[in-house]
Amino acid sequence: MTEVHTVLVGPAPAQAGPDHGRPDGHAGEARIRELLARMTIEEKIAQLVGFWEKEDGEAVAPLQGEFADAARLEEFSRHGLGHLTRVYGTRPVDAASRAAWLWRFQRDLVTGTRLGIPAIVHEECLTGLSAWKAATFPTPLAWGAAFDPDLVTEMAAAIGSSMRALGIHQGLAPVLDVIRDPRWGRVDECIAEDPYLVGTIGTSYVRGLQSQGVHATVKHFAGYSASRAGRNFAPVHAGPRELADVLLPPFEMAVLDGGVRSVMHSYAEIDGVPVAADPTLLTDVLRDRWGFDGTVVADYYGVAFLNLLHHVARDHAEAAGQALAAGVDVELPTGDAYLTLRDTVRSGAVDEALVDRAVLRVLRQKWELGLLDATFAEEPPRAVDLDSPEHRALARRLAEESLVLVANRDVLPLPAGRRVAVVGPNADRPGALFGCYSFLNHVLVQHPGVETGFEVPTVLDATRAEFGADLVTFATGCEVDTDDRSGFAEAVAVASAADVAVLVVGDHAGLFGRGTVGEGCDRDDLELPGVQRELVEAVLATGTPVVLVLLTGRPYAVGWALSRCAAVVQAFFPGEEGAGAIAGVLSGRVNPSGRLPVTLPGPAGAQPYSYLHPTLGEGGEVTNLPATPVAPFGHGLSYTTFGYAELTVPGTVPTDGALRVTVRVANTGAVAGDEVVQLYGRDLVASVTRPVAQLLGYRRVRLEPGEAVTVELTVPTTRLAFSDRTLTRVVEPGDVEVWVGTSVRRDAWASTTLVGDTVAVTNAAPRWTTTEVG
């Protein structure tokens, strides 16, 4: 029997409401143009801005305190409104009560404004809908570790279903920034350091969310993650080839293969030009080259930042003109800059045709979402289960698949009856399981005393449930980011009396300096925060075997631990079911199958580093400071073993063809397990330097003991494309090495030769490797 993994390679449908699609060429286009013709300049501008009803002290966006509310909502929206910002996700509110308010407001827009156009409601949804009591899934770095795009699609569809039920139309996710430096605080929001893994997983999220009639917003377009020294908002000095070959492909896949309907610009400046004012990216690449026909929205306050931070505009009015001309259609979260357009259009400083262009795009989006015919006369939802058993089952599956067993000296799984000491600052802290953009760490932390609203077992809770409370002892040892060592003595005593010590260390996700990882929480080193390493060293000195569990949002420099701990488990903020997944790995109930989506680094001084480096990118004999990582991209152990055989690769492949690779994969161990088959390639000689390894395709397969399957990967030669010396993306003829393995390191390899003319890559060329298992 052959199992076929189907991957779409053409543009996806709009995924709007059941009776609506893209209006181009239909009656809808005539209707929206008729609407535009009737609009005053005030009504046009109203469609290009959002409104954020927030309270003092609620800081969930950069420099939020610098911006005052323009007016009360009723006054602000008298001419209509483009977006309502974070109706559910700004503070803990009862979803049913808030839905009733939202329906009334939307009904007032329909009946109380001249044109009767409802607003688009947008929310954050990176780790689930960012709302009180909503399910919180693993962070995107965990999606990458799972190497399971189909499961990510299921998760996103579940998130989208909740959003649609609450009257939310647009989600500000996924993040498609390729990780370039682990010191950057927003690493936990990213998927991987490999653009193909980011593109396939991120596009799968887009498809899942949009299948429910909710528009995804890919961000941050583009270059944001390549900031200097990993500092948030720092300048980006990526060359045009790095931009084209590493940073842009995930967005290209989301547009061309996922049909994404919205794009958010990056805060970054690239070689001195802020993206929010760059028509080369926002129009020439995004629209003219890729054919994107959705809306471009501003990252929060990003238009005003052209004036306040980048200083390429004298005031907000000039910033608005630059952003609008570049291709930013909607200013979020409010209208601090775009509200100036009324005066600049009337004065002739801004061409009204640019306003009309953006308004048409917004009206098309509202048509797709069914909003132009919506009356909101129906009753709002009285109750929506935002954390249903189905949500939790998906969260559990993804958490289990994402855990990476980095090292194991035959101590795991732990036999029943062992006395287990659970130690560490993240062992009994619910927030340790969640990323920066989870509601708990993003919003609820600013409302002390308000209950979480859903069940969040900690690692301590789950370990007691897994092994028996009478066998589990506990000591905190220290906090996440402190120099207080007063708890060390208790931790040492508890560990000394146990058969094994499980040390749960790592990060606390937060914003703008309130955490050790997250937006605005960058690091100047890659040591565990605070005195956590000292805590681990103190427990290691007891002689009790140590299982180190890293609950983090970034990879840390833990080479010292890999050689001394009995086992090391890497968990990238695994969500509400993450603790149970960790306990399952400790007991063997869960066979770990996650793979590192980002290299485990050596020292911080070796950064930025990527496995996608050319020959001279790792150092070697030419420098006394090699950048050799601690564990490679794609690495991850299992409680069983896998063997590879019968790798077949054709001797030659046309430059405009596809490389068909087959390999026999067997479970050679005693227990069932999942293997992630990883296919890599290397262009041996090219017109520009190329990486020493590049992920060409992957496939997760589950195998029973003794079972063997043949995995076939069909790789379009465009997976080997790059920008040549003229910055044209091409596939060149020449020799290529190909290998498969349990990481980027080789298990079996072969070679092939691409033959024929150099071929330029077009939008019509396939970008995805398809796989079959038989």
The pLDDT score that the predictor gives to residue 63 is: 67
Question: Quick one: average pLDDT of 293-322?
Answer: 98
Integer Cα distance of 335 and 312 in angstroms: 19
On average, the pLDDT of the chain sits at 94
Which of 122, 138, 133 has its CA nearest to residue 201? 138
DSSP summary character for residue 629: -
Q: Are 675 and 665 in contact (CB under 8 A)?
A: yes
pLDDT tens by residue, 250-285 = 999 999 999 999 999 999 999 999 999 999 999 999
Which of 242, 323, 193 has its CA nearest to residue 600? 193
The pLDDT score that the predictor gives to residue 625 is: 82
Question: Quick one: average pLDDT of 701-715?
Answer: 98
Q: Are 320 and 286 in contact (CB under 8 A)?
A: no
Integer Cα distance of 296 and 476 in angstroms: 46
In the predicted model, is pLDDT for residue 458 greater than 90?
A: yes
Question: Quick one: average pLDDT of 74-98?
Answer: 96
Q: Which amino acid is at 321?
A: G
Q: 90: burial class by Cβ within 10 Å (0-12, 13-18, 19+)?
A: buried
In the predicted model, is pLDDT for residue 513 greater than 80?
A: yes
- Count CA atoms closer than 13 A to 472's CA, side-chain side: 22
pLDDT tens by residue, 386-415 = 999 999 999 999 999 999 999 999 999 999
Q: Are 531 and 484 in contact (CB under 8 A)?
A: yes
pLDDT tens by residue, 190-218 = 999 999 999 999 999 999 999 999 999 99
What DSSP string runs through 359-397? Answer: HHHHHHHHHHTTGGG----SPPPS---TT-HHHHHHHHH
The pLDDT score that the predictor gives to residue 120 is: 98
Angle at 643 between CA 641 and CA 648, to 5 degrees: 160
Q: Between the CA atoms of 29, 33, 39 and 44, what dihedral angle is there, to the nearest 10 degrees?
A: 70
Which of 682, 681, 683, 684 has its CA nearest to residue 698? 681
Question: Quick one: average pLDDT of 580-601?
Answer: 98
pLDDT tens by residue, 605-616 = 888 999 999 998
Integer Cα distance of 664 and 683 in angstroms: 24
pLDDT tens by residue, 123-134 = 999 999 999 999
- How far lies 246's CA from each of 2, 195, 226, 486, in Å? 34, 6, 10, 46
In the predicted model, is pLDDT for residue 62 greater than 80?
A: no
pLDDT tens by residue, 234-257 = 999 999 999 999 999 999 999 999
Integer Cα distance of 730 and 502 in angstroms: 50
What b/e sequence results for 25-36 when a residue is b if at least 16 CB atoms lie within 10 Å of its CB, and e otherwise? eeebbeebeebb
The pLDDT score that the predictor gives to residue 399 is: 98
Integer Cα distance of 301 and 586 in angstroms: 45
Integer Cα distance of 376 and 762 in angstroms: 44
The pLDDT score that the predictor gives to residue 11 is: 29
In the predicted model, is pLDDT for residue 4 greater than 60?
A: no
The pLDDT score that the predictor gives to residue 623 is: 84
Q: CB count, 10 Å around CB of 345?
A: 20
Rg, the chain, Cα only: 26
Question: What do you get for the CA distance between the two ends of the chain, in Å?
Answer: 6
Determine the angle formed by the axes of helices 352-368 and 27-38, rounding to 10 degrees.
140
The pLDDT score that the predictor gives to residue 517 is: 97
Give 738's strand partners: 681, 750
pLDDT tens by residue, 372-391 = 999 999 999 998 999 999 99
Angle at 168 between CA 166 and CA 173, to 5 degrees: 125
In the numeric block, the tokens 């609820």 are attached to: 444
Integer Cα distance of 404 and 636 in angstroms: 5
In the predicted model, is pLDDT for residue 164 greater than 90?
A: yes
- How much of the chain exceeds pLDDT 70, in percent? 95
Q: Are 513 and 437 in contact (CB under 8 A)?
A: no
Q: Which amino acid is at 261?
A: R
At residue 658, φ and ψ (nearest 5 deg) are -140, 145
pTM of the predicted model as reported, rounded to 2 decimal places: 0.95
The pLDDT score that the predictor gives to residue 651 is: 96
Which of 179, 195, 3 has its CA nearest to residue 768? 195
Integer Cα distance of 535 and 424 in angstroms: 8
